[in-house]
Amino acid sequence: MKRLLTMVCLAIWPVSLFFAQESRADSLLSMTSVQTDNELARTYYELSLALQAVYTDSALYFANRAETILQRGDPGKLLPFLYKSKGKIYALKLVTERSIFYYRKAYDEFIKLENYHEIGDCALRIGNLYFDVANYGEAYFFFMQSLTASERNGDQLNIANAEINLGNVSEEMGRLSEAETHYQNAYEIYHGLGLATEECGALGNIGMILYNKTQYDSALTYFFQVMEMLNPDSLGSVNQHIILSGVYNNTALTYSELGDRRLALSYFRKGLGLARRADDEYNVGTVYINLGSLFGEMGMMDSALFYLHRALQIAEKRGFTSVTLDTFEELAKLHAGIGNYAPAYNWQVRYDTLYKSVFNENQSADISRLRAMYEQEISEKEISQLQSESQVQKMLNNVFIIFIIVIVALVIIIAVNLKSKKKTNQMLAERNLQISNAIQKLSESETELQKLNMSKDRIFSVVAHDLRNPVAAVTGFSELLYDNFDEFPVETQKEYLLQVLQGTQRIQNLLENLLIWARAQMKAVKYQPEHLKVKALVDDCVKEMKANLDHKKVDCLVNITPKCVVYADKAMIHTVLRNLIINSIKFSFPGGKIRITSETDNDICSISVSDEGIGIQPEIQEKLFKSNEVVSTPGTTGESGSGLGLVICKEFLDRNNGAIRVVSEAGSGSAFIIDLPISGPD
């Protein structure tokens, strides 16, 4: 049979607020025609909040409109709260994956803002969602994050809430002593805050720990204490109904273990009545399972099957994975007990399949989190090592400066002592000039070295970040194919292999750009200019990119005049054009168009590569060609990139006496224009 624990959930809507919220929505709608973008985004956000309790589709519509505006600029830091609101909307729509996605986006943004109250709140909501789908590893992790954030914020109530939920996960994972400690901590905080309802929930959970330890009389003592504190005839909040319903269910389980089925049946029915009044389908489904199990033990098979199938309907409708698993298990046992082995086998197979699916999902999530923690630890060690090297370099610089000062002092002393000798004075003057030049060169070299180090650190940071996703994708899909190759249909195998191929292509492009940049920094790329026909060069690049264009269904229209001939290094300009075409593909929408055109003006040939993609915001345009401010932005279908391509383009064009500029507006596509000389120097 299945027990019930008190969870802390944060999405209960008082019915009395519905009409007030609708009135508020009407008021907000009347304001939208006379507002600025930022004011309009806030109004849409508040409309979403006002409607989400009743009209989830409308709430989601206004939330999406607010998000579109805020992504162009968010001076009021409203976007994290909008992500949190979308997470709640999807939770109300029972779309668990999307709900977790937006709650995690909000969680990440609040971490950047160091808003510990919201960090704790989002982590608690994420943990609840993972708990509902039986992903206890992820649930425990986020409940711990909620506890840590609440402790840092000094929020006693949320500390107690996190302790309750950590106890629930620990109990599900079989760590009873740890669970009891969490429940006891929560009880003491609730008691200190004077929160009687929450206090009852903690007491009921402690009773279940004693039940699991087969200390049935002690467990009943706690259950009866809760019944004395909560009178079923004068219950107020929905939470009180849920807590007392759970206690009735657990009391029935205890009497069932003691062999008193009459009392067990009575308490199950009391619990079911309260769960229905609270509209708590999880508790209703759980009590149905327990009634089915009890009637099965009593030999009343029709009643047992009736309640078990009712439980299964609720579980599959609401996506309660743990309830579904328990129902499958009880149905298998029931059919096996009466000799119906074929149905028993079928139910057991369904149980095993779902259990393995949940186990694999939990294991994948745990591995991903551990990998991320390991990579973070490695990064921190590398940063520490670089800081140590920097300190040593600073010390050497200081020693060198002191050495130079001493030399200059000695020269001055010698100059004073030999002032009478003109020849010596001249020699000393020349020496001083040489030393001054040396100091100036050293100072310039140091400044240049610092700039190069900053560029290197920034670039490697971006490369390390953007390598992680394709490497993780290749590893993950390779492991899936290796472990389950024979079980997957051919379509799935091809899809996973395509993901592996695309991941390796992204890694190859990233490493190729990094190699070109490194060779350019070491001056290993030789400059060998010649007269080039731009049309032929562009056609070669387009052919190279044909697979990428076909994959994304993007058309490339080339309109280069055959007379367009430039004086430049062929390999460098090929790299420049290739990177610009790759960028246009990356930021184009599927089915879009890329246009490559040319114009000749006096001694300059201008080549334009334009797309119809997402465009570039002005503050990003200023950083595109600076090596110390490398910008990495995902493409329209999630493609990653290091931001090195445009830096390489700028450096190569500088070496070819050319230039590059961008013309773009967010949401309206971009055009990158390069200028190259038609003839070489006389």
pLDDT tens-digit readout, 14-48: 333 334 444 454 555 555 544 677 888 888 898 88
Cβ atoms of residues 229 and 266 within 8 Å: no
Residue 21 confidence (pLDDT): 47
pLDDT level of residue 318 (50, 70, 90 thresholds):
confident
pLDDT level of residue 525 (50, 70, 90 thresholds):
low
**Cα(629)–Cα(466) distance, integer angstroms:** 15
594-604: pLDDT as tens digits: 999 999 888 89
Residue 473 confidence (pLDDT): 62
**Alpha-helical runs (H) found in 489-561:** 490-521, 534-544, 546-552
Report for 69-78, 95-104, 383-392, 468-477: range of highest mean pLDDT: 95-104
Tokens 């309750």, residue located: 164
Residue 604 confidence (pLDDT): 92
157-204: pLDDT as tens digits: 989 999 999 998 988 888 888 999 999 999 999 999 999 888 888 998
Report for 420-434, 489-503, 511-525, 557-571: range of highest mean pLDDT: 557-571
Residue 516 confidence (pLDDT): 63
Residue 7 confidence (pLDDT): 52
Is residue 199 included in any domain, yes or no? no
Residue 13 confidence (pLDDT): 39
| CA dist list (Å): 155 to 1, 51, 168, 613 | 36, 29, 20, 46
Q: Greater confidence, 564 or 25?
A: 564
Residue 433 neighbours by CB under 8 Å, 6+ apart: none
Percentage of the chain lying above the pLDDT 90 cut: 26
Work out the average pLDDT over 328-335.
88
* In the predicted structure, residue 76 carries a pLDDT above the cut 90: no
Report the number of distinct structural domains present in the chain. Answer: 1
Cβ atoms of residues 617 and 633 within 8 Å: no
Work out the average pLDDT over 317-327.
85
Residue 323 neighbours by CB under 8 Å, 6+ apart: 2, 282, 285, 286, 289, 311, 314, 315
Q: Greater confidence, 222 or 440?
A: 222
Residue 16 confidence (pLDDT): 37
* In the predicted structure, residue 354 carries a pLDDT above the cut 50: yes
Q: Greater confidence, 622 or 584?
A: 584
Domain holding 598: CATH number? Answer: 3.30.565.10
Is residue 301 included in any domain, yes or no? no
**Cα(241)–Cα(6) distance, integer angstroms:** 11
Host H or E run for residue 594: strand 593-601
Is residue 42 included in any domain, yes or no? no
Work out the average pLDDT over 564-572.
91
* In the predicted structure, residue 4 carries a pLDDT above the cut 60: no
Work out the average pLDDT over 229-236.
77
User: Where in the sequence is the domain holding 554, given as residue range(s)?
Assistant: 519-677
Instruction: Using the CB atoms, write b or e for 58-97: b if 16+ within 10 Å.
Output: bbbebbebbbebbeeebeeebbbbbbbbbbbbbbbeeebe
In three state form, how does the secondary structure of 176-188 look? HHHHHHHHHHHHH
Is residue 557 included in any domain, yes or no? yes
Is residue 185 included in any domain, yes or no? no
* In the predicted structure, residue 10 carries a pLDDT above the cut 50: no
pTM score, two decimals? 0.45
Written as one letter, the residue type at 313 is Q
Residue 505 confidence (pLDDT): 64
Residue 484 confidence (pLDDT): 78
Is residue 278 included in any domain, yes or no? no
Distance of CA 33 to the CA centre of its chain: 35
243-300: pLDDT as tens digits: 888 888 899 889 988 989 899 888 888 888 888 887 888 888 888 888 888 888 888 8
Is residue 401 included in any domain, yes or no? no
Residue 491 confidence (pLDDT): 83
Is residue 452 included in any domain, yes or no? no
* In the predicted structure, residue 632 carries a pLDDT above the cut 50: yes
Mean pLDDT of the chain: 81
Beta partners for residue 608, in sequence order: 597, 673
